[in-house]
Structure 1
């Protein structure tokens, strides 16, 4: 069995991106560790915060609850501030993840990798899926941490399959699940000016997570304080399964071709 460390930018990113893979890996007997780069301090401010409760405390509790749903053995934090979207003032804040020194941030992750004697690290693709500054930083920090770790772990990148997104949106429109005027287009420039995700030809692993889709959705529900979570949870089950039933990873240096199933 392996120890697999997933690095995510914000608390709730695991629920929409790799939750199914994490649950399947835990069910297979692997030790799953989820590390969050930021504390989520710039997320949606809950209206029901208790006295002396902060948004950071709420989101930490939500992340721990999600970890319980997914069978995560450990939740850890790099403890940077959320950098906001491209061009926001938060990008340059001295405590933001985006502004952090690469070796310092990677050193924090490498320390966790060493504590866990990690076999596998999962980061993000080169532009973080859609260009969010913190997501892009995850890519660089994860790669550098692999180099700094005492025992160099295997490295994979979570991403979205751009061709698959195009296909399922068209299929969803034809089935009446998505409105055609919704305007979704994975080829349109995202936050950093690049299209969403990665071309299918550059991917290596496809994980069908429908067998654990209820757990993935339950993990998402743990982050109910966040506005974006609401519209995802509001999807009908068939629409949600179409949108979130498949997870994709690339593995730099691996020969071309996609394999089905867990990569570990």
Structure 2
């Protein structure tokens, strides 16, 4: 059995990106640890915040509910401030994750990797999927932490741009009004995700799609993004979210439709 550490920028990122893989790993007996870089302070503020309750407080509670749904064994907070989207003034906040010293932030994560004797650490692709400053920083921090802790395998969570394009075009052809295009410029001006030709893993998590949907529902305060995903009918949701994609830079080119925690992969 392996210990896998998933690194995410904000609460709810784990639900939309890797909850299926996390749930599958837990079900198969692996130890799953989730690390959040920030508390997601710049997410949506729900109307029902109690007196004295902050957005960060609510999002920590929601993250705990998501972890319970998935079966996550441990949740760690690196303690940085949410940097906001590209160009926001919050990018330059003295405690923002985007501004954090690389070795200092990587050192915090490396401590977790050492404590857990992690076999695999999972971060994001080079542009964090869609260019959010905190997601981009996760990419760099994860790779540096793996070097510091000598973690043997590093994977990068991403989206299959070719699949998303096909789904986008099919939805448009069916008359759906969609206000984004995976080939269009995202937060940093780059298209979303990664072309299929560059991917290494396509992991089928359809058996855990109900867990993934419930993990998303745990983040109920984020009405715009989470609400939009949960508004997709269950069959369509399974098509859109039933396969999770990863890069593994140390691996030979070519996408494998398989599972990065298969026994043969763990003895390499």
Say whether the fold is shared (TM-score over 0.5).
Answer: yes
1:168 maps to 167
Q: Which residue of 2 aligns with 1:221?
A: 217
Distance 1:54 1:182 in 2: 32
Deviation at 1:152, TM superposition (A): 2.5
- Which residue does the alignment assign to 1:94? 94
Correspondence 1:187 to 2:186: no
C-alpha distance in 1 between matches for 2:59 and 2:96: 17
Task: Deviation per CA, 1:142-190: give whole Å up to 9, x if none.
Answer: 00000111x433100000011111112223344x3x61x4243211111
Q: Who is 2:33 aligned against? A: 33
Q: Deviations over 1:58-97 (max 9, x none)?
A: 1111111101111100011111110000000000000000
Structure 1 spans left out of the alignment, 5+ residues? none
CA offsets per residue over residues 17-54 of structure 1, 9 Å max, x none? Answer: 00101100111110000100001111111211223322
What SS does the aligned partner of 2:7 have? strand
Structure 1 residue 242, shift from structure 2 partner: 2.2
Structure 2 length-normalised TM: 0.94
- Separation in structure 1 between the aligned mates of residue 172 and residue 90 of structure 2, nearest angstrom: 37
Structure 2, unaligned stretches of length 5 or more? 262-268
- Partners of 1:33 and 1:243 in 2: how far apart? 25
Match of residue 229, structure 2, among 200, 217, 232? 232
Q: Which moved more, 1:49-58 or 1:134-143?
A: 49-58
The normalised TM-score by structure 1 is 0.95
Distance 1:196 1:173 in 2: 18
Once residues 185 and 88 of structure 1 are traced to their aligned partners in structure 2, the CA distance between those partners, rounded to angstroms, is 23
- The question of whether the paired residues in 2 share the 8 Å contact of 1:206 and 1:260 is answered with yes
Partner of 1:252: 249
- Report the alpha carbon displacement of residue 261 of structure 1 after superposing the two structures with TM: 2.4
Q: Write the mapping of 1:1-264 to structure 2, written as runs, cut at 5 A.
A: 1-149=1-149, 151-174=150-173, 176=174, 179=176, 181-227=177-223, 228-264=225-261
Give CA-to-partner distance per residue, 1:85-139, whole Å, 9 cap, x none: 0000000000000011101110110011111111100000000001000000000
Q: Is the 8 A contact 1:172 1:239 kept in 2?
A: no
Q: Distance in 2 between matches of 1:46 and 1:195?
A: 30
SS at match of 2:95: coil
Alignment: residue pair count: 260
CA contact (8 A) 2:4 2:120 kept: yes
Displacement of 1:253: 2.2
Question: 2:91 aligns to what SS in structure 1?
Answer: helix
